[in-house]
Amino acid sequence: MKTVIFQLSGGITSWAAARKYRDRYPDAPFQMLFADTFIESECAYRFLICGAADIAGVDRPDFWNMEIPSIDLENPEPRRMVLKALADAAMDAIPGLNWIWDGRTPWEVFRDVRFIGNSRVDPCSKKLKRDLMDAWRTERFAPDECLISVGLNWDEDERIERIKERGAPWEFITPLEHRWEGISGDQWSGMGKPQWIEAAAERGLPRSLAYEQNLAHDNCGGGCVKAGIGHWKDIFHKRPEVFAQWEAAEAGLMAELDSPWGMLADRRGGPKKPLPLSALRRRIELGDVTEIEARTLGGCACALPV
Ligand code: SF4
């Protein structure tokens, strides 16, 4: 039987995909793979550890709730050291968990490649997730020896198709699809994100603050170069410290690169113009964000070739 590699993000759907697969194939060999950017939210790390223990069928380690320093984009080293120690302890305690890293944060990648990522070009995800996970897998498996499970949901048909095409010769599976392996009557069928969150809570997994805050996603602490204006507006109101740190990091690197372009673009009329977070801040404060912009959340799908 092929080994299934559950790609975990610290979020609900990648856990749910793994849970669904394990329920269907309890005896199948598996590995869990998480690539760290060192700027995930504390909730994401806690959910990752508890979720991985749940998938592995072991008790969650007693350090699952240990204190993690807050994100500091200017000085990430103290947090990085704590997280590496946490990763080592988690891998010792949870069979099948592989917690890997390139060593840099997304902003350190942007500085190295001299380019700030955006919704179309994401060097952070490429260097810190996709390339790293591909290398990990290639060192251990041939394409016909494993399956790769990802947490795309049943309402993401286009992405599911793309990942299967672009991922070849590797075989990606999406257990949250309605019609996965023809299953239509199991306990997980037709479930969306709210139901997965409830299912996780019933299994004793910690609830992420991102769900209380109704954020579109929580990757990289809620900030993301691929997020849209609407998501950044949400972050401005709900996680002002994250907005402020990304705003400062963006302004610093734009100055260093002598470029007017940061992550976002203003597409209101005429050709698109740069929209640094400092400018978005002013527009939010003036109530100058259109309804269409506010609905532009962007799709993260970090780590996936979609
Ligand atoms: S979540 Fe966004 S910012 Fe973070 S690595 Fe992925 S694409 Fe880059």
pLDDT digit string (tens) for 258-280?
999 999 999 998 889 999 999 99
Q: Which atom of ligand 1 is nearest to the CA of 117?
A: 8
pLDDT digit string (tens) for 79-113?
999 999 999 999 999 999 999 999 999 999 999 99
Q: Which of 9, 37, 38 to mutate to test the pocket of ligand 1 (most atoms within 8 A of CB)?
A: 37
Query: Of 32, 139, 161, 38, which Cα lies nearest the Cα of 91?
Result: 32
Helix pair angle (240-257, 277-285), 10° resolution: 140
- The whole-angstrom separation of Cα 140 and Cα 98 is 12
By the 10 Å C-beta count (0-12 exposed, 13-18 middle, 19+ buried), 185 is classed as exposed
Answer whether residue 192 shows pLDDT above 90.
no
Task: Check pocket membership of 124 for ligand 1, CB cut-off 6 A.
Answer: yes
Q: Report yes or no on whether pTM surpasses 0.85.
A: yes
Task: Check pocket membership of 35 for ligand 1, CB cut-off 6 A.
Answer: no
Instruction: Give the pLDDT of residue 184.
Output: 52
Task: Check pocket membership of 224 for ligand 1, CB cut-off 6 A.
Answer: yes
